[in-house]
Chain A
Amino acid sequence: MVTDAKAAAAIDLSTDLGGLRLRLPTLMGSGCYGSGEEYAPFVDLAQLGGVVLKSVTRLPRLGNDAPRLVPVASGLLNAIGLQNPGVDAYLANDVAKFADRPCAVVGSVAGFSVDDYAYVTERLAARDEIDAIELNISCPNVGHEGETFACDPKLAAGATRAARAATKKPLIVKLSPNVTDIASIARVVEEAGADALAVINTVRGMSIDVERAAPALANVSGGLSGAAIRPIAVLAVWEVARAVRIPILGQGGIETARDALEFVLAGAAAVSIGTGNFTDPRVPLAVAAGMRAYLGAHGHASLAEIVGAANPGFLGAR
């Protein structure tokens, strides 16, 4: 057993997400992990690859009315509505707390215009505490304008170009599954200068409260996350991995190491865990340990060896 543990510890789980070096391939999904400090009493943040912060917008946002959550079969519907203090208050009050984080810190930028994306990216990326930027062009819960960017190739490219011009830090663009052909969006976003792609954001859905005979969410529709969307997400990663050369951050319903490995084998260089933390904050630790055990058992020395290994059309680097 001692040698097994030694062998497992020697297995290299580090990865590179478009210039963002990660010791561990496990990021915590934006919006699910606050700023990380909320989970610090329960989880050693050094055991995570990194935290993607809650999305920030140019101006403060009150967010949607309650109810914002509905538990559904094997998943969760949410419509938070990008509640956040706005970039000024965020930079003044929150960002300094990230300086001594023992894991990567990825800022998340949301917006309603190309100019918003450029402005907030520049402000956030200028801070040393932020290692990389996730461009959230795919929030489904702020009216039509939130998701427009991820669903229209021209707008997706425009937002990406604007953010690209605003920072040299790694730029990860988060794509929406609510499109006909995610691969074609991925291609234009890659051409526009993205360093990596996060695949996928939540899937649009709704639930009706039959007792009240009304939509269960105040926002009517919401974004579905959790195990229910995992097969949708794995297919999206598979298709994007055949369309672009930049690294992919796979996400959507990951609760175990085997779930995470599906994404890696489809072509993801790293994975993101969101809703899985809600049932057990130790999920990311179990995912990393389980990946090590799998790699050891299959005779691999590093995670990089199996990225895209199940996908004959995988275009990326290994």
Chain B
Amino acid sequence: MTRARACLTVIVASLAAAGCFPITYRARQTLPGDPAVPAARAESVKTWDPTYAPGTTGAHAQDVVPVVTGAGFDATDESGERREYVLWGVRLDGGPGTEVVAMMWSPASAPRCQGGHPAYDLLLDRDRPKDLELLEDGLVHWERPFIVEGSRVVFGRFDQDPPLLHRASVVDLTLRRRDAAGDHEVCVRVPVTGPGVTYWSTKRWSLGYRIALRRAQAFTPGSTFSFSMGLGRWLGPVRLGLEAGITGTNNDAPDKGSPAGTWLCFTAPGPDCETANLGTFALDASGPFARWGRYWGLAWSLGYEVSFGALHRLDPATGDVLGRHVGAGGPRVGLRLFAGIPDLDGVSPFSPTSAWSVELFAAAAQEYYGAAGGHPLSYGVAVVGF
């Protein structure tokens, strides 16, 4: 019971952690801003940007609201909070010097520089030093306006608006320029979602989970249940993952009262079953190839898996429990229907993503050692997170 509880805790904790990583998309295909000078175009978007609410900071692992009074610094108010925002990045050619006054994210139909989400914070990419990996790419610029020289990325932090991520939208930059005619404000409109703008997720690493029910193994005809965890690395549109897990059946001794046959060996071992305790490892390549709407998509999967462990069965004649060790491995192919993270309009269907999926798979295996006794070809269904 303790073991089961510990396993459950690990599973729940890891599943809960899976959705806690910000996702950044980089623009692949963009449209120029209007007017053409100063030049501006979409650069990136972080669709889930958790940060402290204004006035909140971290102190000794607490979210606090600090104040300074005549009595000194006081950080005892623990009512601080964190919020999630959308962080849009626009590459702007500021030339010899352009002042950034404000930023607004709105539907493409909205009037320029009016009627959208105003940016709470404006950030500028770091110009130096680039070796400080701990610092974010963009630093908040509290002063307004701030000056952009040359080609830089200006970021704006906006309220979450999931529907707006899925329709044509624009980021409007209010800029101030100085020329021979004097100071004047310009509103540059940059299309960030909609026709002509495409994105690719910058996601590189991902945790993987796999809960599978398999009809048979090469060495036993009974069904087995497995849970695996792993780590994956996206290489372009392909996720290469390494999994390790446990595979087995209910460990109760085969029971003559349980149903005959091998379909339910994983949960209610009957007289035709063997109990299995196996370790499983797999190298898996997978990738999405189609998306519909905000969530749904299809992905392929191709892997090679190996299993090692012990099997036990009840000898019906003597009533003795007989054990044997087995090892087998072989290829596995699968098709996944997934519910992906609701990213934004224009993301390539081949782009890396995070998703939960249902996979139908087929697998072939050959014994490395131990007697065969199952089926060299098998199939099953799995719930896969990646």
A and B associate: no
